[in-house]
Structure formats: structure tokens, C-alpha cells
Amino acid sequence: MASTAVEISGLTKAFGANQVLNGIDLELHKGEVTVLMGANGAGKSTLVKVICGVHPADKGEIRLNGKPLHAATPSEAIRAGIVTVHQSINDGVIPDLDVASNLMLDKLAEPGAGFFLKRREIRAEARKVAASIGLIVDVTRPVGELDLADRQLVAIARAMTHEPELLIMDEPTSSLSAKEAERLFALLERLRDTGVAILYISHRTSDIRRLADRIVCMRDGEIVGRFDQKPLDYEAAVHAMLGHGMTEADLSFKPAGEVVLALERLQITPGAKPINLNINQDEVIAITGLVGSGKSRLAAILFGLEQPVSGEMRLNGAPYAPMSPGQAIAKGVFLCPKDRGSNGILPDHNLTKNITAPFLARYSTGSILNRKAEARAARATIEKLNIVCQSEGDDIGTLSGGNQQKIMVGRWLSEACNLLILDEPFQGVDIKARRDIGDKIHETAKGRATIVMASEMDEVLEIADRIVVLADHAVAGDHDNGDLDLRLVLAQVAGQANNDHTKTASGQ
């Protein structure tokens, strides 16, 4: 076994009456990737924040290379050799400055740095750092012009200038395409081989399978499972994290009903191949593809947010060309958008108001709202989706991420419709919430057509009756989720990506 870089013992942390960390004992070894798993609210983020000096611990000790670590601020932690790359890339880089300045920023901020900038030296050193991690880029370019993966690499490279003992990565792949993620993994493997201890937080099965040397599971502020026997028992880890097993999604294939939505020679961007596609009643169709493959664009067109270049859409046989979300909703086409924080949640509104927002006309006589009817509908949704809350009057902000997502999905399940489109409905939720949401989508699927846009193959396989692959804004494959040739699907997803996909992705 490798030698220990960081040793955490008896760590506790409470916010008010809320005990978040409850005696954490954890060792992180040099040259090893430790994946930290945990459902939302298990305490992962708090643990990271205590380690990297954002929050002080209530009790317990952190030892770095055998010596006690007393980092009261993030910058002290960085100087001690604990470096964190946060989930949001832009927290780690300054988009307006060039790559060289970004890479050397912490050095410049260190006490004792010279007063005047020495551009040539900075650039030379920055090039060295960049080369050492395989970042091939002109160091004089502003970071804001780089694509997501390169920006992420810059953030990591910046971390590397401190020669870290421990590198903490918080969901680094959540906004990367598969190809970009692959570059990141390659880099992390090289770092691991140089002896850096890596603590990697992620929900993504593919990341974990690819990288993990060891899995540590958290639940309710405690470490509930450690897995380091190869091959890693992923099932058991999920079991430990959730408190129950991850059963195979039970897919009962339903016969497809009538055609609800027909896309006829629909060209969604100039120059793209036209799409011909029928979406049937009772069926759950997963549309998958890389970031930038046209999923979001298609969803926007179906919901009246954007207009197609050419072609036709027919809804239940009648021409369908919505000019606004309002018109789409009136025709019974609903969209549960991706990224609930910016597109779905009404902050400072209670659960009821968040659920009923699109359907207020139905809860009002004249223009006066019937609050009782609203509350009834909200309670029904809360019960149906098993949402953890005090009452339908709770502020949406008091809910965990998974439950917020359930509210967003529940909003659109609260009314019957012809076509329900869910764009990345499993984004940023733990596996339990993902299961709950998936089950509800299936349970209610009868009587409407359902489209789920998702890029994670796990999610697609779990939810779909039928899988449509998009690449380059056109259909690349159409499969029943029966006996599926997964390799073919993946080839279709990635196949077009070989051409020039990273470019489109960065434009996203």
C-alpha cells in the first residue's frame, strides 16, 4: 500500500443544530485516486470545505505527511499543499486574463513576490507548467477564449504550480463532453503516477469506473463504506451510499401507441441533415448525444423558443409551429428545461408557487387564484414524487438539489399533456432521486408521448423505451431499448464526434 499523504481523524462539524460531519476518519494515499461518493446532503461538500480551509473543524485533526495541518484560510491550505478545483470552472480561472497570468496568479499573490511584473519570466514558467500537464495552448491567449476542457486544464495547471500533496476535484466533468473528459482523465492519471493524492468527487459511474483506485462512501455525515479491493465493487458502493441496493431498472416495454409528434424533413440548423422522426404515445424516448449535438436546439424548437430552418412538425396530425412557450403549452407540449437553477426554479417562491406557475389559468376563476386548489395540486405532486419537505408552503431554497429537481419534474407532471420533453432531468441529482424521477416518468407515461434528453448513457439505458442518437444536429441512430447493441450506440454518439465536435461543444 502506498504511503499516506493526508490523515483525517475524528473530524466533526455542525452548523447550528445541524450536525453535518459526524466523526470522519479518512486516509488519502499518495499516488492514488480516491473517489468520494455520497447522495446530495451527505456532507461531501462540507468535508471538502473543512479540508481546504474554508470552514474550521469543530473537533478532530487533519495531518499532512504526518504533521498536523492548521489551515485557517484557503490560501494557507494551498501553501501547505492542498489544492482544490471547484465544480464551477469559472471559480478557478479569471477569463479576462491570459493563460500565463492565470497559471502564475497564485505565485503573484504570494507575499514576497516582486512589485513589478516580469512578463517574459512569467510566460516562460507558464509554458513549462502547461507543458508538464499536456496543455498545448498559446499562453498569451485570454482564458475566456479557450474551450471548457482547456479552461478546466488551466484551473488544474494553476493548482499544479503549487506542487500539491493533495488535489481535490469536485465534480470536474459535469460540464465537459466525453472527449474533453477523456483529456482530463489522462492528465489525472499522469498526476497520480507522479505521486499526488487525488480526492475525486463525482456521481458519474463512467468517471468512477475509469479512474477510481478506491471508493469511499458517505452517508449522513459519516463514512459508511470503503472499497479498495480490485475489481471495485461498484454495486456495493452504491448500496452503502444509498442504504439500499441499486437494482437494475425494471424495464417493461410498452407497445407504442399512435404517432403524437411527427417531424418531417425538419432541419434544425442551417446545413444540418433534415430529421424525420415519429414520437409515439405511451412511449418514453431518450434522445442522446454529446454536448452540442443538437439536443437542446431540438428541445427549444419543439417548445417554441426557436424556429427551425425548414421542414414541418405535426402534432396529432395537425400542423404544429409554436412561436412561444405559451403557445406550446396551450397545445399540450411541455418542456422541463435543463439546468433548473437558471431555467426552472423560482427562487424565494414556495413549492406550491413553483409547481403551479405554468398552469395558473387552471387554478383561477376570472383572474383570481384559488389558493386551495393550488395547494391541493401541490400536495398531490409532493406525495406522488415522494418529495422531502415540511409542507407545500416551504421555500424552494430549503430543499436539497434532488428534491428541487423533483419539484421541477413534478410541475410538468401535474397536468396531462400530449408531449412531455424533459431536458437532462437527472442533472446533479443523486441516484435515489434519479430512480424516483425515472419511475414517475414511466408510471405517468401512458396517454402521452415522452422525450427525455440525456447525455449520460446510464441514464438513457435506465429510462428509455427507445433511444434516438443525435449527432451533428441530425439523427444518427434509432434503437429499441430491447436487445441493444450498446457498442453501436456509443459509436453513433461518438462517431461523428471524430470530425470536429469539440468546437461546437465549446460554443455551448
Residues that bind another protein (CB under 8 A): 15-18, 41, 303, 305, 324-326, 328-330, 335, 337, 342-349, 353, 357-358, 360-361, 363-364, 367-369, 382-383, 386-390, 395, 397-398, 400, 411
Comparing CA positions, the residue from 303, 256, 304, 301 lying closest to residue 280 is 256
Of residues 132 and 400, the one with the C-beta less far from another protein: 400
The rounded distance, in Å, linking the Cα atoms of 259 and 257 is 7
- Least distance between another protein and beta carbon 449 (Å): 19
Contact between residue 30 and residue 79 where contact means Cβ atoms under 8 Å apart: no
Of residues 122 and 413, the one with the C-beta less far from another protein: 413
Phi-psi region of 16 (alpha: psi -120 to 50; beta: other; left: phi over 0): left
- Least distance between another protein and beta carbon 172 (Å): 23
Comparing CA positions, the residue from 440, 76, 451 lying closest to residue 283 is 451
Contact between residue 412 and residue 389 where contact means Cβ atoms under 8 Å apart: no
For residue 40, what are the contacts with CB-CB under 8 A and spacing of at least 6?
Answer: 400, 401, 402, 428, 429, 430, 433
For residue 182, what are the contacts with CB-CB under 8 A and spacing of at least 6?
Answer: none
Of residues 15 and 253, the one with the C-beta less far from another protein: 15
Of residues 348 and 483, the one with the C-beta less far from another protein: 348
346 C-beta neighbours (distance < 10 Å), count:
10
- Least distance between another protein and beta carbon 371 (Å): 8
The rounded distance, in Å, linking the Cα atoms of 164 and 33 is 14
Of residues 164 and 337, the one with the C-beta less far from another protein: 337
Contact between residue 405 and residue 428 where contact means Cβ atoms under 8 Å apart: yes
Cell of 360: 395558473
Of residues 398 and 499, the one with the C-beta less far from another protein: 398
**For the CA atoms of 275, 312, 315, 493, what is the dihedral angle to 10 degrees?**
10
- Least distance between another protein and beta carbon 18 (Å): 5
Separation of first and last alpha carbons in the chain: 43
Cell of 403: 428534491
60 C-beta neighbours (distance < 10 Å), count:
16
- Least distance between another protein and beta carbon 323 (Å): 11
Of residues 328 and 493, the one with the C-beta less far from another protein: 328
Cα angle, residue 327 at apex, residues 337 and 342 outer, rounded to 5°: 25
Q: In terms of DSSP bridges, do strands 449-453 and 419-423 run parallel, antiparallel, or are they unpaired? A: parallel
- Least distance between another protein and beta carbon 393 (Å): 12
Of residues 335 and 441, the one with the C-beta less far from another protein: 335
- Least distance between another protein and beta carbon 327 (Å): 8
Amino acid (1-letter code) at residue 110: E
Of residues 172 and 337, the one with the C-beta less far from another protein: 337
Q: In terms of DSSP bridges, do strands 368-369 and 18-29 run parallel, antiparallel, or are they unpaired? A: unpaired
